[in-house]
Amino acid sequence: MRFYTRQHRHYCGVDLHARSMYVCVLNGEGTVLVSKNIAAEPAPFLELVAPYREDLVVAAECMFTWYWLADLCEREGVVFVLGHALYMKAIHGGKAKNDRIDAHKIAALLRGGMLPQAYVYPRELRATRDLMRRRNYLMRHRAELLAHIQNTNSQYNLPAFGARLAKPHLRRQAAEHFVEPSVRKSVAVDVSLVDHYDRELPALERYIEESAQGHDPVTLALIRTVPGMGKVLGLSILYEIADIARFLRVQQFLSYGRLVKPTKSSAGKVLGHSGKKIGNAHLKWAFSEAAVCFLRGNKPGQALRRRLAAKHGKGKSLAIIAAKLARAVYFMLKRRTAFDADRFFAH
């Protein structure tokens, strides 16, 4: 957990919503200078904080509408801090809760150096990262449609299709496999949607690939030197990391990627684990998939997996390899070097 500890003359806490925002401004002594609900638009916000622009810092909780406020502060030369929503939930709990109280608490945490920070993702990469996440969502939906066809087939205890439904010329006859007209219609809708995804997704991937070549082709090429690291996984890891320099230690990177298990302890006793939802779920998925792809046709990797499985079990062995790959990628990007198999398997 990283806190924002810089000192300023004025501290602005914003409880941000889609159409409104509650603004609270404190001075260095903690006196409330402004406490007002305004429209979530640039002009009212700038007018409200104009008397306090000298050495002002603005903070808002990390939720889906923070993009425009961060960009506004960047254009106006105002320091912006993004609060980590899950950490803030644990810190500023209280008996009563409303917009006025929340804005004051954000400003008070900021003034006291106790505001847990989230990463303000760079504006120039943000839209492409969101597009990459959208691509992954659509691909998962495509997989759900294919799974629904298979599950429907099992539901009626019919013979197996005998062909891979992922192939377009084979799945178009899937509806004829069923007798009931309504079931046929349901499967035909699934097939039609999958065909549409198969037309749109390759074009979307080409667009993201072209954008990545303009953003950071060197980093993308380094990531893809890892065995089994394909086009989609490389793009996902590239855009979820953005800048490896923001992680001072490899432990921070592994924690951000949800690749290590946080431990709760007190008085020398381990009480359990928590914080599984704190971190980047997209990076966790990418490295978990990379671990599976890494093992395909990789005899040294398969031997490593067998050794780990004998000691920790099959499931945990994959998690260890995913964390090991993430550690390798961290140092590759820090040192600007390609993947070194000898070093990876040295220990």
Whether residues 130 and 189 share a domain: the answer is yes
Whether residues 130 and 114 share a domain: the answer is no
36 pLDDT exceeds 90?
A: yes
Whether residues 99 and 202 share a domain: the answer is no
Q: Is residue 36 part of a domain?
A: yes
Q: Is residue 268 part of a domain?
A: no
Mind listing the pLDDT tens digit for each residue in 220-274? 999 999 999 999 999 999 999 999 999 999 999 999 999 988 888 888 888 777 7
Q: How confident is the model at residue 167 (pLDDT cuts 50, 70, 90)?
A: confident
Which residues span the domain enclosing 96?
3-118
The pTM of this model reads: 0.90
The total number of structural domains in the chain stands at: 3
Cα separation, 244 vs 264, whole angstroms: 28
Whether residues 85 and 170 share a domain: the answer is no
Whether residues 105 and 42 share a domain: the answer is yes
Q: Is residue 131 part of a domain?
A: yes
Whether residues 337 and 240 share a domain: the answer is yes
DSSP-assigned beta bridge partners for residue 116: 3
194 pLDDT exceeds 90?
A: yes
pLDDT of residue 310: 95
Q: Is residue 72 part of a domain?
A: yes
Whether residues 297 and 257 share a domain: the answer is yes
CATH number at residue 56: 3.30.420.10
Whether residues 101 and 173 share a domain: the answer is no
CB environment 306-315: b (16+ within 10 A), e (fewer): eebeeeeeee
Q: Is residue 96 part of a domain?
A: yes
User: Collapsing DSSP states into helix, strand and coil, what is residue 13?
Assistant: strand
Structure tokens at 219: 């980093």
CB environment 150-185: b (16+ within 10 A), e (fewer): eebbeeeeeeeeeeebeeeeebeebbebbeeeebee
pLDDT of residue 89: 79
Q: Is residue 221 part of a domain?
A: no
347 pLDDT exceeds 80?
A: no
Q: Is residue 80 part of a domain?
A: yes
Higher pLDDT: 85 or 73? It is: 73
